[in-house]
Structure 1
Amino acid sequence: MKFHAVELPLPPNGKNSPNRLFFIAITLFLLTLVPLCLWNWGPPLTFPKIDISSLRKSKEQGKKCDIFTGQWVPHPEGPYYTTNTCRLIIDEYNCIKFGRADTEFMKWRWKPEGCELPYFDAVQFLELVRGKSMAFVGDSVGRNQMHSLLCLLAKVATTEDTSHKYSTDTEHFQHWYYADYNFSLVALWSPYLVKTKEADPNGYSNDILMNLYLDEADEEWAGQIESYNYVIISVGQWFFRPMYYYEKGKLVGCFRCPENNITNLSKYYGYKMAFRTAFRTLLSLKSYKGVTFLRTFSPAHFDAAWNKGGDCVRTTPYTSQDEKLQDFQREFYLTQEEELRAAEEEGRRRGLKFGLLNTTEIMWLRPDGHPSHFGRSHRNVTTNDCVHWCLPGPIDTWNEFLLYLMKREVLTKLGGKLMQN
């Protein structure tokens, strides 16, 4: 179903004034110093105070800290929320509800080397996005991250599910509105990012042949993304399926197609071109002023073929010494990164910001975080789920990353404004 265009609030001319940027920076400073125990967080967590004594110091710390390099360490205090404190967890990710007995997978925290990853501060996040909009564009793992964010915000703000106002397909196209902050949060379904069409005459199946039009963005997201302030793009697992590749309306090759007379192109080719088209589309939109984040490839952890009883039963993380990223996973990551770097370079010339949300290697270390047979999905009742992530669980770290990058972007922007003045 077509997801109808949504008009969302933007600052005048799509830009923040220096005064507003200064206000946001001061707000971040104050909120990091206020004891977080004043808010009702549910299960207790120890939140260290973050020292942001000056803009310069914050920028220097950001340059020195690679938040994506580190290790998972025990965190016995547990998660930010539970299945009782967040009523928005859907059955697909609700592992505890459907009988998962071990809870250790919720008691690990990502520790970067040589620095600290700040805890997720829901009040800070909502102040940053006040009067703005955020879209998760991609497949169901992106939607999984959005549901994690809903739970992280649930203890400090109420939200309304307004999906039915914009689409009849409320499973794939979701729209949430935080009235107190005039903030819209949406998930836009587009598992290939580009225009697609089913090629299999027998209709849909789990391994259906698809036509991918690699130089045409999927209008389900591209036709309405211009007004969004933050866009998080992510796709992955669908590119293992058989595909015909089209460019300029002509068949140029295929991946896993049954014919022998068509040029064989790898899954990485389709992946590369899909991201290239997505980024170029954003760069070409005249009114788009948003910040774009690429959330990188999320590994699955099947111990055998997914359609032959494969499962993920481990209950503790790997260490980087135990298990290295597999070659195909690294290739997916490098393919994305290459296209992002090209978009970043072009974006600088056009005044657009692109950022990296690198989750590939850290999530390869978390085979314990998947629903396995403890999730419930009406689409999938026979196979184990080693693709998505339990809530609460390690995917909550992605939104810690997201908030960290958003704050760094605001401080960088403020620094530029102050230097101009």
Structure 2
Amino acid sequence: MKLWNRKKPHFPVLVFFFSLFLVFSILHNERSILQIQDHPDHAPRHHIPVTYVKPNRLTHQNHVTEVLDRFSTCNSTREYSGRKIAWTDNLTPEPLHGGRGESLESCDVFSGKWVYDNSSYPLYNESECPYMSDQLACHKHGRSDLDYQYWRWQPHNCNLKRWNVIDMWEKLRGKRLMFVGDSLNRGQWISMVCLLQSVIPKDKRSMSPNAALTIFRAEEYNATVEFLWAPLLVESNSDDPVNHRLEDRIIRPDSVLKHASIWENADILIFNSYLWWRQGPVKLLWSTEANSVCEELDGMGAMELAMGAWAEWASKVDPLKKRVFFVTMSPTHLWSREWKPGNEGNCYSEKSPIDLEGYWGSGSDLPTMNMVDNVLSKLNSKVSVLNITQLSEYRKDGHPSIYRKFWEALKPEQLSNPASYSDCIHWCLPGVPDVWNELVYHFL
């Protein structure tokens, strides 16, 4: 009897643990599948050995790298080799004083709320800025509610330095201020030009024709405010400021040399990069690779490589001679259900900011933000961070929506459904980018 009692439990116990194992395995697999569906860029890959590449090399074994342009192609594409950018080896740790913008303040100027202020805003009139872009001129293109122009950013427990155009010009006297990045950074550049141009006589100011580098010049101050089209920071086949809509996006993940040869002569630099990395896989053509053999990587992984190549350049900057800013991601407002549960629209017809403090939508990719923050934190005093993401998240009302010039003819089905072609990415001017530039002024 004793012997039977000791042996009897064995079979049920085995069945119990085997069943528990099956349930755990099923739940784990379902969770993994859901994670991949929610974040396809983060799907697990086969283990790849990591090798480190020194970026921004002019030549390699007498091989001169061919410059990428919109006609460049990959002869073949293989799996990502696991190469990473090695850029921190020669970086000397520095104290944080004089570095990232938020560390300079007794309070966080990036944390606050939007206050309606129609007495001191807007800081300029859309119609009185001759350099306004039709992509951002919302009133000109039919937007009748102008409240988006009257919101002022109010940090908690402190104030932003009040905009003073003459003082800003004095800060720029004899200097080159250059914005480097994509169309969102171009919008910030246009905002800065509109903020500055009104006090410069017409015969003492000029704007160069639209090109990869576009320059606004003020003779009286011997100063320029410039924009360099470099949407991916590193060299790419999308570096043409007009013809960049291509089937495959190809980058040199280890080289900013093409763009840096232009931007390194500026005194104040304002960089951005984000949106273009959210448009599917990216082809990698390493500078050492012959015969146009490319690798392929997801957007976030490719951005991390590009940020490493850019950071290697930034790590050599003397902050006493050159001021470098990096603008964090500009959020989109593509899904109104995120701030208005049950609604299936987007930013179309929105007329006021989101008033829920701490709101985050899917237009801000937190994993990418963490990756960028990790890179920037290693640069210490080399780069000042303009953390515009959270404050811009609240401004679902600030996008052009349908009130802009569209460069392609709209289809009848689009016209019958305005939300379907609304621009919920860029920003109306005057508007949100003016505050980004107030932050630049605050930290200069």
Q: TM-score, normalised by structure 1?
A: 0.69
Letter paired with 1:278 = W
Secondary structure at 1:195 match in 2: coil
Larger Rg: 2
1:209-288 aligned at under 5 Å gives the runs: 209-217=248-256, 219=258, 221-242=259-280, 243-247=282-286, 249=288, 253-254=295-296, 265-284=297-316
1:341-360 aligned at under 5 Å gives the runs: 341-344=377-380, 353-360=382-389
Offset, 1:148: 0.5
Cα 1:294/1:387, change in 2 over 3 Å: same
Q: Does 1:163 align with 2:208?
A: yes
Distance 1:342 1:60 in 2: 15
Letter paired with 1:90 = S
| The one of 368, 371, 396 aligned to 1:335 | 371
Q: Does 1:291 align with 2:323?
A: yes
CA offset digits 1:209-229 (Å, max 9, x no partner): 21222111151x211222211
Contact 1:213 1:249 in 2 (8 A): no
Offset, 1:207: 6.7
Offset, 1:296: 0.7
Contact 1:196 1:213 in 2 (8 A): yes
Contact 2:364 2:389 in 1 (8 A): no
Q: Does 1:63 align with 2:92?
A: no
Aligned structure 1 segments of 4 or more residues deviating by more than 6 angstroms: 285-288
Secondary structure at 2:305 match in 1: helix
| The one of 371, 380, 386 aligned to 2:400 | 371
Offset, 1:362: 0.8
Cα 1:90/1:380, change in 2 over 3 Å: farther
Letter paired with 1:143 = R
Cα 1:98/1:281, change in 2 over 3 Å: same
CA offset digits 1:383-405 (Å, max 9, x no partner): 43211111111211001100011
Distance 1:65 1:142 in 2: 26
Report the equivalent of 1:176: 216
Distance 1:231 1:205 in 2: 23
Cα 1:79/1:327, change in 2 over 3 Å: closer
Distance 1:267 1:205 in 2: 17
CA offset digits 1:120-179 (Å, max 9, x no partner): 111111001100111100101111001101111122224633424xxxxx1543111010
The count of aligned residue pairs is 321
Offset, 1:309: 9.3
Contact 2:138 2:400 in 1 (8 A): yes
Distance 1:209 1:272 in 2: 19
Contact 2:334 2:363 in 1 (8 A): no
Contact 1:138 1:192 in 2 (8 A): yes
Contact 1:105 1:315 in 2 (8 A): yes
Structure 1 unaligned runs (5+)? 3-58, 165-169, 199-203, 255-264, 407-421
Report the equivalent of 2:355: 319
Letter paired with 2:369 = Y
Q: Does 1:130 align with 2:173?
A: yes
CA offset digits 1:23-57 (Å, max 9, x no partner): xxxxxxxxxxxxxxxxxxxxxxxxxxxxxxxxxxx
Cα 1:176/1:270, change in 2 over 3 Å: same
Secondary structure at 2:115 match in 1: strand
Offset, 1:73: 1.4
Contact 1:303 1:312 in 2 (8 A): no
1:89-104 aligned at under 5 Å gives the runs: 89-104=132-147
Cα 1:71/1:273, change in 2 over 3 Å: same
Structure 2 unaligned runs (5+)? 1-66, 69-100, 337-343, 412-420
Letter paired with 1:118 = K
Shifted more, 328-337 versus 184-193: the winner is 328-337
Shifted more, 370-379 versus 385-394: the winner is 370-379
Report the equivalent of 1:258: none
